[in-house]
Structures are given as C-alpha cells and as structure tokens.
Amino acid sequence: MAEKMGILGRKLGMTRIFDGNGAAVPVTVIEAGPCPVTQVKTQEKDGYNALQIALTATKEKHVTKAMRGHFSKAGTGLFRHVREIRLVNVPEQKLGEELTVQMFSAGDIVKVTGKSVGKGYQGRMRRWNFAGSKDSHGCEKVHRNNGSVGNNTFPGHVFKGRKMAGHWGNETVTELGLSIVDVRPEDNVILIRGSVPGPRNGLVLIRKQ
C-alpha cells in the first residue's frame, strides 16, 4: 500500500510541556533521523515506487556482507535499521540524501508505527479480559480455566481465532491521527501529543497522514 513520506526514529519516553494558556500537554519525545536514503525504487525499474531509509549507525561486524555491499553502493555508512516506504509517485529524493525532522512542522497530523510492548505468555483472562468462573459454590479449581474450546464429532477441531492463552503484545501497531506539538531540528527531536506504540528506545516510523 502506498504511503506518504516518513522518517525513522527512536522513542525516548514521555513528558509534558505547557501551552500558551498554561495547560499541561502530554507529549512523546522521539529522536528522529537523520535518515540517509539507501535505495530508491521506481515503477519502471522495480514495479513500484518506494524509498528505503536507514537509522542508527553501527560497526562493520554488526552488518552482513550483503548489507555492507548495499550500503557501499548507496555511498552511506553502515546502519542497524532499514525500512522501506512505498510511495504513489516517483521519489524526489536521491540516493545518499538525508531526511531530517525539518520535513515536519508543528500542527502536522501523522501516524506512528511501532512494536507494542511485549507482555509475555498470558492466560486467557488477562489476555482477553475474560471474567472467569464465579467464586461461589459449584466451582472448584476452575476459576481461571479456559473452559470448553472443542466441538462435536463434526467438525472435530478448534476453530481458528479462538481466544485462548498465548503470547500477548509485541505486535506491529499503528496509531493514527496524532498531532505534532513541536519540532526541534537542533536536537533531531519531534514532540508528538499523546502516546505512541512501543517501549522506551523502541524503533518507530513517523509518516504524514
């Protein structure tokens, strides 16, 4: 799916600032970019328009041989994270060009994609907010059990999508309709109103909406 231009960043945490009326505004602080363009894809050559950007410079020993050649062709350094953003039109940016927070301004509406905080393996009550069995007479050692999940002879299996215990969190989440409160190019920092997905120091992708 084609998207609008974006930038990679690292979630530093949350704080609050005060607006002109003295009201407290909760914001998420994101250190974004600068992100070099490591590959430009076009409809004519690759079948679709896209821009590949990178973040977090790293050592040679942490990069595969294939990626070392890829970065060398782009004329950039070595980076830990690489993401591709599909675009409707042919990208205006050139290979090796850097994207910075200056592409955004206060008041812009953006969407932020990140990995939600992982909560490990959880039971069905916590994972799906089930009520459990009653705590009065008639129940013994089954208060947090799954209960019946199977079927009769036909179809004879558990339906796909049944809400059961399992891994909770650590999923790709996109938060829509977030507004930018402030952009600080000297620090490569963007302040976004409200919370965004992911843990502290988590990788996020900020795109114009």
The CATH code of the domain that includes 48 is: 3.30.160.810
What rounded mean pLDDT belongs to the chain? 92
3-state SS assignment for residue 127:
helix
Range in 50-64, 88-102, 128-142 with the lowest mean pLDDT: 128-142
- On whether both 143 and 197 belong to a single domain, the answer is no
Same domain, 110 and 207: yes
From CA 42, how far away is CA 55, in angstroms rounded?
22
Domain with 20 in it: what CATH number?
A: 2.40.30.10
- Asked whether residue 40 falls in the same domain as residue 136, the answer is no
pLDDT in tens, 122-151: 999 999 999 988 888 888 888 898 888 888
Higher pLDDT: 58 or 20? It is 58
The answer on 85 and 41 residing in a single domain is yes
At position 108, the amino acid (one-letter code) is D
Residues 146, 124 share a domain: yes
Q: Does 162 share its domain with 173?
A: no
Name residue 109's amino acid: I
How many CB atoms lie under 10 A from the CB of residue 8?
A: 23
Structure-model confidence comparison of residues 198 and 5, the more confident one: 198
pTM for the model stands at: 0.85
Tell me how far the alpha carbon of residue 157 is from its chain's centroid: 35
User: Is the Cα torsion angle 10, 15, 18, 23 positive or negative in sign?
Assistant: positive
Integer-rounded Cα Rg, in Å, for the chain is 23
Residue 199 preceded by cis peptide, ω within 30: no
Q: Are 11 and 114 members of one domain?
A: yes
Segments forming the whole domain that contains residue 89: 34-99
Q: Are 40 and 128 members of one domain?
A: no
What integer is the mean pLDDT of 23-40? Answer: 94
Same-domain status, 14 and 113: yes
Pair 109, 95 in one domain: no
State whether 175 and 151 are in the same domain: no
Residues 114 and 128 in one domain: no
Residue 1 has pLDDT above 80, yes or no: no
Cα distances from 184 to residues 66, 70, 117, 200, in angstroms, run 35, 31, 27, 19
Q: What is the number of structural domains in the chain? A: 3
Rounded CA gap, 103 and 155, in Å? 55
Mean pLDDT over 98-103 rounds to 94
